[in-house]
Chain A
Amino acid sequence: MDEIFPIAGLVPLAEEKATGMNEQEFRSLYDATARPIRAYLQGVTGRRDVADDLLQEMYCRFLVRQPPSMNVDETRRYLFRIATNLLRDRWRRGDDEGWQEIPEYGFSVDMDAQIDVRAALSALKPRERELLWLAYVEGMGHAEIAAATGLRAISVRMLLFRARRRAAGLLLAKRETV
C-alpha cells in the first residue's frame, strides 16, 4: 500500500512530464485498476460498449488533470470518482435509463440465478446499483464510498440501507413468483 504513483509535475518539460506520469507508470496503474473499474461501469450500466468508452474517457481525464501524488488506494478511489461522475453525466443527459442485459455464458452459469440477477438489477435505480457494487463487490466502507461518489458518509449509509433493502425485496419477490 506504500507504492506512490508520481503524478505531480508543476513545470512540464518533456512529453512524459506533461502528464506527470510516464507510459510505463501508466501501464502498471492501468493493469492494477482497469478490470475492476470496467466491471463496475458495466455492472452499473449493463452495457459493455458504454463501459469501454467510459473507461477510456476516465483515464484520459485522469492523465490530463494531473492530480497530486497519491498512493494506490487514493488513486483507485479517485478513478472510481471520475467513473461515477461520468456515469452521472450520462444519466443527466438521459443516455442510460434502463439496465441492459448481460450476455449469456453457456452452461457454466446457473440460469435461474442469472434470471434473478437480471430482474433485480434491471429494477434497481442506477445510484442503487452504484452503491451496492462499491459496497459488496469492491468491499468499500461508507467513508470510501463517500470519497468515490462525492456523497456524504451519512447519506451513503442511508442510501445503501435503502438500496440493500430494495434489492433483497426484489429478489425475494422474484423467487416467490417462480
Chain B
Amino acid sequence: MTRVNLANRRWCEREADVVRSLRAGSLPVELREHVLSCVVCAEARSAAEVMLQTASLLQVEDGVPAASLVWSRAQVRKREMDLKRATRPLIVMRVLSVVYVVLCAGWAVHSFWRPVAMELASGLNGWLNAFRSGTVGLGAAIALLAIAIGAWYLLYDGRRSDTGIRST
C-alpha cells in the first residue's frame, strides 16, 4: 500500500483493539508497533488519550447529586404532569362551550332580528309575540341557560385545579 493510500485510510480493523487497550490502561508492544505504522490507529490513539485524560481529571471531582434529591424532584414533576393531564379535558370542554355559546348567539340574532325589527315597529308586544311564536325560541333559551351554567361550573372548577397545581 502506498503512502498516499495509508494517509487516506478511514478505518482500521485494529482500531477497536487499540482503543480497548488504551481504556484498560496499557498498550501491548504488538499494538504499539502497529500504531507507529498505521495513520488511523495513531489518530485514534491521540484522540482517545485526550478524552481519557479528561475523564481521569473529572474522576478526581466530588460525587454526583444525591439519588434521593433526584427522586424527589422526579416525583414532584410527575404529580404536576398528572394534574395537568387530568385537567386537559376540562380545558377542551371550556373552549367548546365558548364556541357553542358564540354559535348559538349568532344563530339567535340571525333568527330573531328580522321578525323583531318588523314587530318593534308595532311595539314591545310585537317583539314578545315574535319570541313566543315558536318552540324553537324556548328551546334555544333553555339550551343557552344550560350552557351558561355548565360553562360557569367548568370555569370555577378549572380555576380551582390551576390553584392546586401551583401549590403542589
Q: Is A96's beta carbon under 8 Å from chain B?
A: no
Q: Is B121's beta carbon under 8 Å from chain A?
A: no
User: For residue B65, which residues in chain A have a CB less than 8 angstroms away from its CB?
Assistant: 52, 55-56
Given contacts A18-B82, A42-B58, A117-B53, contact A132 B74 (CB under 8 A): no
Contact A109 B57 (CB under 8 A): yes
Given contacts A141-B16, A168-B43, A171-B49, 6 further A-B pairs with CB under 8 A are A23-B71, A59-B70, A62-B74, A64-B74, A136-B22, A167-B46
Contact A114 B53 (CB under 8 A): yes
Contact A136 B67 (CB under 8 A): no
Contact B69 A133 (CB under 8 A): no
User: For residue B22, which residues in chain A have a CB less than 8 angstroms away from its CB?
Assistant: 136
Q: Using C-beta atoms within 8 Å of the partner chain, give the interface range for chain B.
A: 35 or more
**A64 CB to nearest B CB, Å:** 5
Contact A113 B52 (CB under 8 A): no
**B111 CB to nearest A CB, Å:** 49
Among residues 43 to 93 in chain A, which have CB atoms less than 8 Å away from a CB atom of chain B? 43, 48, 52, 55-56, 59-60, 62-64
Given contacts A27-B67, A35-B64, contact A64 B46 (CB under 8 A): no
Contact B43 A165 (CB under 8 A): yes
Contact A137 B78 (CB under 8 A): no
**A122 CB to nearest B CB, Å:** 11
Q: Is B55's beta carbon under 8 Å from chain A?
A: yes
- Closest-by-CB residue of B relative to A133 is B51
Contact A43 B55 (CB under 8 A): yes
Q: Is A146's beta carbon under 8 Å from chain B?
A: no
Task: Select A19's contact among B10, B54, B64, B75, beta carbons within 8 Å.
Answer: B75
